[in-house]
């Protein structure tokens, strides 16, 4: 199995651990986080150090997964991705065996696809994305780099989400709709028209 460092030790990390264990492809070496917690907080895996220790830790394992969550802002995940890239880290794509990803879909490095998610033919993700539990990316739809498609969100066919955007739990993006970079779509929202970059949208359009 491939040794793997996890970067970030909160609740999203624990969800990622469950997915990673279920793949049977990786050996989790431990957790890197600014604040040390007990192994129990990391489901039995050790705390290895803070971000300052990354250069030495990457000599033990080049493969990393960013397990910091993304609620609204992607800033922390983006900064980590850029720094780790500079240090020569490798970013696997990790897909839950309980998810479905078409062999005709394209997933960029660092993408995490969680339990129950569906990514259909012609769909794609950018780098460092979270496709959370039960989310859907339908045929020919795409999300840009550093996006989080949250739990139960629905991105319908040929819809497109720009880089750094957050689509909240249960939100629905209609067929063919384009959402710009750095947008926030609230939980339960329904988006039927294009949204320009930087939009924060909470209702039904």
Whether residues 106 and 183 fall in one domain:
yes
Q: Which of 86, 104, 135 is the last residue of a domain?
A: 86
Whether residues 77 and 147 fall in one domain:
no
Q: Which of 29, 54, 86 is the last residue of a domain?
A: 86
pTM of the model: 0.95
Count structural domains, the chain: 2
Task: Supply the mean pLDDT for the chain.
Answer: 95
pLDDT digits (tens, 9 = 90+) for 98-145: 999 999 999 999 999 999 999 999 999 999 999 999 999 999 999 999
Residue 39: predicted pLDDT:
66
Whether residues 59 and 141 fall in one domain:
no
Residue 36: predicted pLDDT:
82
How many helices (H) and strands (E) would you count in the chain?
3, 22
Which of 174, 181, 160 has its CA nearest to residue 204?
A: 174
Name the residue range of residue 61's domain. 2-86
Whether residues 68 and 144 fall in one domain:
no
Whether residues 79 and 108 fall in one domain:
no
Q: Say whether 66 sits in a helix, a strand or coil.
A: strand
pLDDT digits (tens, 9 = 90+) for 44-85: 999 999 999 999 999 989 999 999 998 878 999 999 999 999
Whether residues 59 and 116 fall in one domain:
no
Q: Which helix (DSSP H) or strand (DSSP E) does residue 201 occupy?
A: strand 200-201
Please say if the pLDDT value at position 41 is more than 90: no
């Amino acid at each position: 199995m491939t040794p793997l460092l996890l970067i970030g030790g909160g609740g999203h990390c624990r969800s990622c651990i469950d997915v990673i264990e279920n793949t049977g492809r990786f050996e989790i070496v431990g957790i890197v986080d600014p604040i040390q917690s007990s192994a129990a907080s990391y489901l039995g895996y050790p705390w290895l150090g803070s971000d300052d220790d990354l250069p030495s830790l990457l000599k033990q394992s080049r493969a990393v997964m960013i397990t910091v969550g993304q609620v609204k802002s992607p800033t922390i995940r983006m900064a980590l991705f850029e720094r780790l890239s500079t240090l020569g880290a490798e970013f696997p794509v990790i897909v839950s065996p309980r998810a479905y990803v078409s062999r005709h879909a394209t997933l960029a490095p660092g993408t995490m696809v969680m339990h129950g998610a569906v990514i259909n033919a012609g769909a794609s993700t950018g780098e460092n994305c979270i496709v959370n539990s039960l989310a859907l990316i339908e045929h020919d739809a795409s999300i840009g780099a550093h996006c989080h498609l949250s739990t139960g969100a629905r991105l319908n066919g040929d819809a497109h989400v720009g880089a750094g955007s957050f689509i909240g739990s249960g939100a629905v993006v209609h067929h063919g709709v384009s959402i710009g970079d750095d947008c926030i779509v609230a939980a339960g929202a329904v988006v039927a028209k294009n949204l320009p970059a930087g939009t924060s949208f909470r209702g039904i359009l």
